[in-house]
Amino acid sequence: MNYLKEVVILLSGLYLILLCRRVSGDQRQISSKGVINLAHRRSKWTPLMQMSANLSDITSIRSFFEFRTLDPEGAVFYGDTKEGRDWFVLSLRDGIPEMQIGKADILVSVKGGRKLNDGAWHLLELRSEGKFVVLEVNNKVELVVGLHSKLVEDDLTGKIRLALAGMLVDKQKLFHPFEPEIDACIRGGHWLNLSTTWDTDSTWEPQPCFSEIKKGSYFPGTGVAMFNTSDLPGLKTEEAGITVEIFGSWTGTTLSLQSTGFEYVLGELDGNKDVKEVQLGLKEESESVALPGEPATLTFTVLKHSLVVNSVSELETESLDFFSMWKKGMLLTFGGVPGDSEKAKSTHYLRGCLEKILVQGQVIDLDRALYKHTALSSHSCPTEAMNELTKSSYKAFILAG
């Protein structure tokens, strides 16, 4: 049964990919009912997809879709009329749904209901009932927002625009700012009972959704996530230094540090070199997936004049003061060496799942990185069932082919 379901999901993924081949101009049309991965975007606020319709054609102000994420924060669904003068956005904060509405002179922000970032599929429904906006989760009303302004005249002409994973108005308009990037998947969407497709940028590469996910940041072996250390937690005591702890299963370059005239690269973890490769036949160019090796913990400690890895001193230098370099801002890169230098070319990007990254005990969210490669999944890793996924995707591929 599960197997069948997987095939169906994978086939709809293929269907999505086939649909995406119908490129028109610089836009592509994406089936509004298919599986859509909202992660892997290039820009923070620009929606991944959008559609518009004439308000006069709308028969039902109701949208519903299945939604799955492990990400605590990000933009999910946006809608507006009057070219953005009236707008609405559904996002997550601490995993809990939050709605913000801007209408005439009113700005509203409401958060409530259950946490949705548990990695399970949830059915979300949004509808407008007169002056109220209602959010249902799994057929249960979770949030109701009422809104009234004497300045608003209900105007049913003009266009309505919908968007996924971003907004069409300036973020300055938000009442309660949030981090828009979201690592989430959507499927089975019905948007205002419209049969139109989503429009997306022609450079966007649709990504499949993993059939089962677990917490962590997934690095497929093609790119890095970069932080400025001055944005990260700083020194508490000189003796303890600054610790970076990484938990997970991976191979390749773990991290690197750079500042003017200084570069440090922490490469392969011993005992983690035995990486089996499997081919995922979902996309035309087949995609290699590193199977997780043995789970590992790495503790990287920055002291005033030395760098220490798992209690072993790796680098000692009296001529550098790492504490002031950290405070001023070095580049801390997870998963490789940034740029196109010889060093970057000669190292292997990290492949695997970093279940947790802590800096000074605080969880680091890759969605807040200075730069994150679009192939990284900031909050989800495929589970060990990857093997199974690979088998069934091959079957689906053959069936479809």
Residue 77 and residue 229 in contact, taking contact as beta carbons nearer than 8 Å: no
Give the total of residues touching ligand NAG (CB under 6 A). Answer: 10
Cβ distance to ligand NAG smaller for residue 230 or 297:
230
Q: Residue with the closest Cβ to ligand NAG?
A: 329
Write the CA distances from 242 to 26, 52, 114, integer angstroms. 47, 50, 35
> Which of 2, 54, 279, 362 is the binder for ligand NAG (CB under 6 A)?
54
The least CB distance from residue 61 to ligand NAG, in Å, is: 9
Nearer to ligand NAG, 192 or 209 (CB): 192
Closer residue to ligand NAG, CB minimum distance, 112 or 158 = 158
Question: Burial of 94 by CB count in 10 Å (0-12 exposed, 13-18 middle, 19+ buried)?
Answer: exposed
Options 59, 172, 237, 311; binder of ligand NAG; rule CB under 6 A: 59
Q: Which is nearer to ligand NAG, 197 or 286 (CB)?
A: 197
Q: Judged by CB, which is closer to ligand NAG: 80, or 98? A: 80
Measured from the CB atom, the residue of 230 and 374 that comes closer to ligand NAG is: 230
Q: Considering only residues 20-49, where is the footprint of ligand NAG by CB under 6 A?
A: none
Which residues are CB-neighbours of 188 under 8 A, at least 6 positions away? 33, 65, 66
The nearest distance, CB 258 to ligand NAG, in angstroms, is: 8
Closest distance of CB 190 from ligand NAG, Å:
9
Site for ligand NAG in 127-146 (CB under 6 A): none
The C-alpha atoms of residue 395 and residue 64 are separated, in whole angstroms, by 30
Nearer to ligand NAG, 57 or 316 (CB): 57
Token pair, residue 196, equals: 């139109």
Per the CB < 8 A criterion, the answer to whether 182 and 167 are in contact is no
Q: Is 228 in the site for ligand NAG (CB under 6 A)?
A: yes
R_g of the chain, CA atoms, integer Å: 23
Q: Distance (Å, rounded) from C-alpha 264 to C-alpha 366?
A: 21
**Angle, alpha carbons 218-256-313 (nearest 5°):** 115
Looking at beta carbons only, is 55 or 309 nearer to ligand NAG? 55
331 makes contact with ligand NAG (CB under 6 A):
yes
Least Cβ distance, residue 262 to ligand NAG (angstroms): 12
Contact assessment for residue 329 and residue 258, using Cβ atoms and an 8 Å cutoff: no
In the beta sheet, which residues pair with residue 169? none
Contact stretch for ligand NAG (CB under 6 A) within 8-16, 32-40, 54-62, 107-115:
54-62
Interface mask (CB under 6 A) for ligand NAG, residues 272-311, using x and -?
Answer: ----------------------------------------
The residue (of 296 and 366) whose beta carbon lies closer to ligand NAG is: 366
Q: Nearer to ligand NAG by C-beta: 171 or 190?
A: 190
Whether the CB-CB separation of 249 and 272 falls below 8 Å is answered with yes
DSSP 281: T
Which listed residue (7, 11, 19, 53) binds ligand NAG by CB under 6 A?
53
Least separation in angstroms between residue 357's CB and ligand NAG is 19
Taking CB under 6 A as the criterion, the residue among 315, 329, 348, 356 binding ligand NAG is: 329
Note whether 90 and 76 are within 8 A (CB).
yes
Per DSSP, 142 falls in state E
SS3 readout for 325-377: HHHHCCEEEECCCCCCCHHHHHCCCCEEEEEEEEECCEECCHHHCCEECCCCE
Among 43, 149, 230, 310, binds ligand NAG (CB under 6 A): 230
Token couple for 290:
């590193």
Cα-based distances in Å from 170 to 44, 239, 279:
12, 45, 41
Q: How far is the CB of 332 from ligand NAG (least distance, A)?
A: 10
- Footprint on this chain of ligand NAG (rule: CB under 6 A): 53-54, 57, 59-60, 193, 228, 230, 329, 331
